[in-house]
Amino acid sequence: MLWRHRPTLVGALVLAAATAQAQPDPETIIRGGDVFVEGGVRAADVRIVGAVITEVGSALEPRDATTRIVDADGLLVLPGGIDPHVHLGAARADDYDSGSRAALAGGITTISNFGGVREGETPAQALQRARPDIEAQSIADVIFHPIVSDPASASADTLEALAAAGQTTIKVFMVRPSFDQAVPGFMATLRAARDTGVLMMLHCEDAAIVQSTAEQFIADGRGSLAHFADARPVAAEVAATQRAVAMAEATGAPIYIVHLSSERALRVTEEAQARGVPVYVETRPIYLHLTRERFDGDTPGLYIGQPPLRTRDDLDALWDGIARGTIHVVATDHVAYTREEKLDPSQNVARHRAGMSNLQVMLPMLFSDGVRSGRISLDRFVEVTSTNPAKLFGLYPRKGVVAVGSDADLVLWDPDETRTIRDEDMFSGSGYSVHAGRVVTGWPTLTMRRGEIVYRDGEIRGEAGSGQLAPRSRWQDPGL
Ligand SMILES: [Zn+2]
């Protein structure tokens, strides 16, 4: 096995016992699917031994009578989705267990979480604090991003310790007033990240513009959520995106911009990319499937996310960015609240619950509205949901690709299955989907995480605690 844990004394004894019984790792053959390998789709079988893909080829023979055969006739065999932008735990309706269930039912085999670096703590210590819950609860594999509010906590030494512990990202919120108070420190952190092979993820909205505009809206009697889009203008996203790009350009450090929402901000990143600045861009499903008219309805609270929903032109520009390859990742920014919490009438444009549940339907909706409709190719679909995040987050080629030696994180995908999204089918603790009622074509029928069938035909089969914190390598130019 390629990626076995470091053997402990107990582990060594267990291994010795297993060796004595000469029990081979279980074998599975996925038979007759259209397998997405690098370079395109080909009709092939996939052999999996233990947790790892060992062969992709024609008419593979089973080892013996114990080999499990999975029929994939008429199905795509895709690398499992990798979602680097998920929020779990805290006061939210999903923990690693329910978040995993939603993800696996939606074809995502690696999720993520963010955790704040507390005062007096280092990023590696924030990671250690998160580890017990990940190991106890998760079914999907997990990557973890410490949130840095005080740049002094993220120096070359402490980021070196984080990378040595196997996680290689930090998240910074430009939208928080604490960012503006410490910009010189964040420049030093960005250089430290560059030098230690750690990628900085940035929430790009300008704190001063967002805060003062919201306060003015409230003072003017326009503080209700119906005004959310105007109270949080595109200009705030553009200003912060320009600043983030400039910081990357001045330091040479790569940056990853989370949940980019507007055409104007996209142009800023595209111009930077054309100059050779290492700027990587993520968008999220709400900007690809919903527009700001939702705030005019009876339930604007359901649609609150930061940044807000934008216009139809923005939506079209983001789809084009995916198609052109200037948007590298589509990730959920999954935040699970119940419908009641999202509709809490005490909220306003300054104080509200941002984000929504999306793990279970992101891939099917992207496939349906993107691949089926001809807006993006199947290659792009796999790139932005699996291969690119694997490359950007230090998981490639162990994950993000169907290849010999890679983890058997696989999704059997029925490109023709048409289903309506229904609240009662959702595994998330939020208990509903803002997309309920949508008719979607293209769904996972089976999800495998490291060789184990963890989802099949509507049923979760994996156990809480079977997921792992996925070890990650340091930043390398992904060649995107
Ligand atoms: Zn987020």
Using the predicted structure, report yes or no on whether residue 183 has a pLDDT greater than 70. Answer: yes
Residues whose beta carbons lie less than 5 angstroms from ion ligand 1: 333
Is residue 342 pLDDT above 60, yes or no?
yes
Judged by DSSP in three states, 32 sits in strand
pLDDT greater than 90 at residue 9: no
Distance in Å, CA 194 to ligand 1 centroid:
22
* pTM as predicted: 0.95
Check whether 316 has a pLDDT greater than 70.
Answer: yes
Average pLDDT, integer, range 180-192:
97
What would the DSSP string read from start to end of 178-216? HHHTTHHHHHHHHHHHHHHT-EEEEE---HHHHHHHHHH
H or E element in which residue 31 lies: strand 27-37
Q: Ligand 1 centre from 125 Cα, in Å?
A: 21
Distance 86 CA to ligand 1 centre (A): 7
What pLDDT, on the 0 to 100 scale, is given for residue 18? Answer: 52
pLDDT in tens, 223-272: 999 999 999 999 999 999 999 999 999 999 999 999 999 999 999 999 99
pLDDT in tens, 134-146: 999 999 999 999 9
pLDDT tens digits, 383-411: 999 999 999 999 999 999 999 999 999 99
| Gap from CA of 282 to ligand 1 centroid (Å) | 11
Does residue 152 register a pLDDT over 60? Answer: yes
Kindly indicate the confidence band of residue 277, based on its pLDDT and cuts at 50, 70 and 90: very high
- Whether 220 and 232 have beta carbons less than 8 Å apart is answered as no
Phi-psi group of 405: left, alpha or beta (phi > 0 → left; psi -120 to 50 → alpha; rest → beta): left
Mean pLDDT across the stretch 70-81? 98
Report phi then psi at 9, rounded to 5.
Answer: -60, -50
In the predicted structure, residue 10 carries a pLDDT above the cut 80: no
With 90 as the cut, is the pLDDT of residue 11 above it?
Answer: no
**In angstroms, how far apart are the furthest CA atoms of the chain?**
76
To the nearest whole percent, how much of the chain has pLDDT over 70? 95
Distance 397 CA to ligand 1 centre (A): 26
Fold of 81-392: TIM Barrel (3.20.20)
pLDDT at 5 over 80: no
The Å distance, Cα 430 to ligand 1 centre, comes to 16
Ligand 1 center to 403 CA (angstroms): 31
How far away, in angstroms, is 202 Cα from ligand 1 center?
10
For residues 81 and 407, what is the distance between their CA atoms, to the nearest angstrom? 12
Cβ 300 vs Cβ 351: under 8 Å: no
Tell me how far the alpha carbon of residue 22 lies from the centroid of ligand 1, in angstroms.
47
Q: Is the pLDDT of residue 12 over 50?
A: no
Q: Could you tell me the distance, in angstroms and rounded to a whole number, from the CA of residue 113 to the centre of ligand 1? A: 9
For residue 75, report the distance from its CA to the centre of ligand 1, in Å. Answer: 32
Q: What's the confidence (pLDDT) of residue 433? A: 98
Structure confidence by residue, pLDDT tens digits, 349-385: 999 999 999 999 999 999 999 999 999 999 999 999 9
> Is 85's pLDDT higher than 90?
yes
Q: What is the pLDDT at residue 1?
A: 33
Q: pLDDT at position 39, please?
A: 78
Mean pLDDT of 204-233: 98
**Cα–ligand 1 centroid distance for 85 (angstroms):** 6
Q: Which tokens sit at 107? A: 């074809």
pLDDT at 21 over 90: no
CA 133 to chain centre: 19
Question: Could you tell me if residue 46 is left (phi over 0), alpha (psi between -120 and 50 degrees) or otherwise beta?
Answer: beta
Mean pLDDT of the chain: 95
Mean pLDDT of 98-121: 98
DSSP secondary structure, 274-342, as one string: HTT--EEEEE-HHHHH--GGGGGSS-GGGG--SSPP--HHHHHHHHHHHHHTSS-EE---B----HHHH
Q: Which residue has the tokens 């990587």?
A: 280
